[in-house]
A and B are shown apart, each in its own frame.
Chain A
Amino acid sequence: MPHNGFRKAVMAMAITYAAGLTTLAQADVIIGVAGPMTGGNAAFGEQFWRGAEQAAADINAAGGIDGEKITLIKADDACEPKQAVAVANRLVDSDNVVAVVGHFCSSSTIPASEVYDEAGIISITPGSTNPQVTERGLTGEFRMCGRDDQQGTIAGDYIVDTLKATKVAVIHDKDTYGQGLADATRAQLNKRGVKEVMYEGLTRGEKDFNALVTKIRASGADVVYFGGLHPEAGPLVRQMREQGVTAKFVSGDGIVTDELVGTAGGPQFVDGVLMTFGADPRLIPDGKAVIEKFRANGYEPEGYTLYSYASVQAIAAAFNGAGSTDGAEASQWLKSHPVQTVMGTKSFDEKGDLKVSDYVMYQWGADGKYKQL
């Protein structure tokens, strides 16, 4: 009937109009950047923020997401799980973010991502490597980095094949990330037939590990593997050297910051320290222009800076590709399309992990800088 048709047309117009209104009301695409902006691990928070800031500026200059500008909101979790949940709720409820880049510590990312998932928004962590981050069947959780089981495999193989160690002491910081990484490395060592001579945890926030170091010395270990972060790694390696322990010190991506030198009391102590980290993103040609921009501003895009940049790019690409900022649609798109990022082309699997991880070994030198081996 013509009458009915007219009514439908009016309805359709009304809906389009309403939809148009909501788009107008949300003129900006608000993205949260969550990480340890304060506290012992603030160096990583700064890397996250610098990367995201530059990415947002570059995307906005190139026309934004579907014509809308990205606005970033900083959220500080201080690597405290409780605070992480609190800021996650704040981002979702009062800041109305449509996506989150973060968090850093796995122990923060895991509870916070539950909040994002419930709110139906997409979140990408540039640096949380604990397997559990993507193993819980969440729809919108992604990571721009590898996993500790992959990292542990590389470290374990390196210790067995290259360092030819037979006595390995495995130390961790009793935290989700640190212990998870230490466990992954220990599993690989055991698989390769090397049984660790000791396996112990230290306490985050303490600075005196002398008793532990004496125990390492007594165990006769020729390699010490540490799962943890630089505020503890620095004093630990220094106290080892001070007590005359010459064992090789191997760790993971939790010590990728120049601050390691400061916490260790000078470059002479970090000389020879080994760590696993993704192949240096600064060496990937795709990012050359962006890296130049960072350096022009007097900032060296070390550690997770470019990971954070790439996370914002992936979110922008997903929103553009899905034509919506809906978390479910965007994550569906992201899981089925490769994304061009500053770190090259990245594609995600069903869980939200990267399909290809690229962990390699790095070594710190007497000049206080690290180099890919």
Chain B
Amino acid sequence: MDAIFWQQMVNGLTLGAVYGLIAIGYTMVYGIIGMINFAHGEVYMVSAYLAAIAIALLGFFGIHSFPLVILGTLIFTIVVTGVYGFAIERIAYKPLRNSTRLAPLISAIGMSLILQNYVQLSQGARQQGIPTLLEGSLRLHIGDDFVQLTYTKVFILVAAVLGMLALTFIIQKTRLGRMCRATQQDRKMAQILGINTDRVISYVFIIGAAMAGLAGVLITLNYGTFDFYAGFIIGIKAFTAAVLGGIGSLPGAMLGGLILGIAEAQFSGMVNTDYKDVFSFSLLVLILIFRPQGLLGRPQVTKV
């Protein structure tokens, strides 16, 4: 294994961690109400703008130390993006809770267009950028060659892992998590047992959006540039990751994201960049042929 291989692993891991964080939003919403929230990519896009606004505001107040800036940006972005998630659910999906399954899907596509146009009109259509906050990089020598990792990438990996751990803790260990799991297993039964499922659904949207908010901050730090259309491609990729890992499964979303990221990077490196998306989607098709429920998804049992 040479340095180039490991460099591509690093590239794939950082990209995949971000896909995974966004995929969580898709998978949680699907798990709990069985709909695909197509506006989720746009939630990430909004969070990128929020992150830039937070960084600019903090700079304006004279706060320049990296840990403070990043902490402030993370709190601001995650909270406000959570509010967006909550509002989207209330406005676009809750009124349709008892209609046909396809209605919220159309409403989600509408929401996605509204968010895109709203950001375009309020923030302008230009490419936005933020200055590099964290300079410098780590260089690991392997043989004659080296693997180079910017500190930003190290930060992304650490933050993504911490975010995932926090989420797993919430879902597995807390009261809120138990309510989420109960609602996911059987909404009607949970309701009978006294769980306010509407509120649980709201929480799920907030958590999903908060994860997209975290991803938004990380991506904005890493690439430094975004526009109102940025949510589209990454949303599609994250959705693919969610399906790959098994939609409805949290570890599946993260695993799917990592596999997708690494597959893209390694295929680009070994074969050709032009066809990396063809390769990742062929991989998706193959996995779905042999495991229709995705890698870690539970098979759907038809209740008679």
| A contacts, CB < 8 Å to B | 37-40, 42-43, 174, 200-203, 205-208, 210-212, 214-215, 217-218, 230-231, 234-235, 238, 242-244, 259, 261-266, 268-269
Contact = CB atoms under 8 A, between A and B. Distances in A.
Interface of B: 4, 7-8, 11-12, 14-15, 120, 124-132, 137, 139, 146, 148, 150, 219, 223-227, 229-230, 232-233, 264-266, 268-269, 272-274, 276-277
B232 A265 contact: no
Nearest to A243: B148
B273 A235 contact: no
B225 A242 contact: no
Contact of B233 (A206, A235, A238): A206
Nearest to A234: B225
B127 A259 contact: yes
B232 A42 contact: no
A214 B7 contact: yes
A262 B224 CA distance: 8
Contacts of A207: 219, 223, 225-226, 230
A265 B129 contact: yes
Contacts of B132: 265-266, 268-269
Contacts of A205: 229, 232-233
5 contacts: A43-B126, A203-B277, A205-B233, A207-B226, A264-B129
A202 B274 CA distance: 6
Contacts of B15: 208, 210
A211 B276 contact: yes
Nearest to A213: B11
Contacts of A212: 268, 273
A281 B153 CA distance: 42
A40 B274 contact: no
Contact of B127 (A43, A242, A244): A43
Give 5 closest A-B pairs by Cβ, nearest first. Answer: A262-B129, A265-B224, A211-B268, A210-B11, A42-B125
Contact of A201 (B148, B229, B273): B273
Given A231-B127, A242-B137, A259-B126, 15 more contacts: A40-B227, A200-B272, A200-B273, A208-B11, A211-B11, A215-B269, A217-B7, A234-B129, A235-B224, A235-B225, A243-B148, A244-B137, A262-B128, A263-B129, A264-B225
A40 B124 CA distance: 11
Contact of B11 (A174, A214, A265): A214
B8 A242 contact: no
A60 B78 CA distance: 53
A40 B229 contact: yes
A260 B151 CA distance: 23
Given A211-B268, A215-B268, A264 B224 contact: yes
B125 A38 contact: yes
Contacts of B265: 210-211, 214
A210 B14 contact: yes
Contacts of B137: 242, 244
Given A242-B137, A262-B129, A265-B132, A214 B269 contact: yes
Contacts of B276: 211
B148 A244 contact: yes
Which of A174, A208, A242, A264 has its CB near the most chain B CB atoms (within 10 A)?
Answer: A208
A235 B233 CA distance: 16
Contacts of B120: 38
B7 A208 contact: no
Contacts of B226: 207
A206 B4 CA distance: 22
B182 to A, nearest CB: 38
A234 B265 CA distance: 20
Contacts of A235: 223-225
A141 to B, nearest CB: 27
A199 B93 CA distance: 47
